[in-house]
Amino acid sequence: MAKSPPKKQPRLDEATLTTPASVGSGASQTQSVRVDEIEQKAAWSDSPTLPFPTGLPMEHEYLGQDFYVRSCYSKYYKYVMRWLDRPSTAVVTVTGTPGIGKSIFCAYFLQRFSFEDKEATIIT
């Protein structure tokens, strides 16, 4: 049996977010949100939390609406980008102890990368 091709996911800066009213009632209403670029750019350095992108495929569903942005994420983002900018690097793997926050860092990384490079295609 042939599998159908995967559905195209929205860009992370165009992700569909669940509205707060629908979360409490268990309803499946969603609202499309496009974050203003100026506000989002400030959010990378100013905000302790960011909305979790629903367009991000995860092995285990993330049940929160926002995620905590650790102070080290910006440093790690730049570190991974330096590795990816090297011609000899094709892949970067983030490893760590279970529960340390690798998946949340991935959400942060892909959301920020999608914002900074609008032309990039992200395949996860």
In angstroms, the first-to-last Cα distance of the chain is 24
Q: What is the mean pLDDT of each run of 10 residues along the chain (124 residues)?
A: 58 42 42 48 66 79 86 91 91 90 89 83 71
The position carrying tokens 């994420």 is 73
- Amino acid occupying residue 60: H
Check: pTM over 0.85? Answer yes or no.
no
Tokens linked to 89: 């690097």
pLDDT of residue 16: 38
| Residue 49 β-bridge partners | 68
pLDDT of residue 46: 61
**What's the confidence (pLDDT) of residue 62?**
82
pLDDT of residue 55: 74
- DSSP at 2: P
- Going from the C-alpha of 123 to that of each of 55, 79, 93, 110, 114, the distances in angstroms are 12, 20, 14, 10, 11
Tokens encoding 22: 């629908």
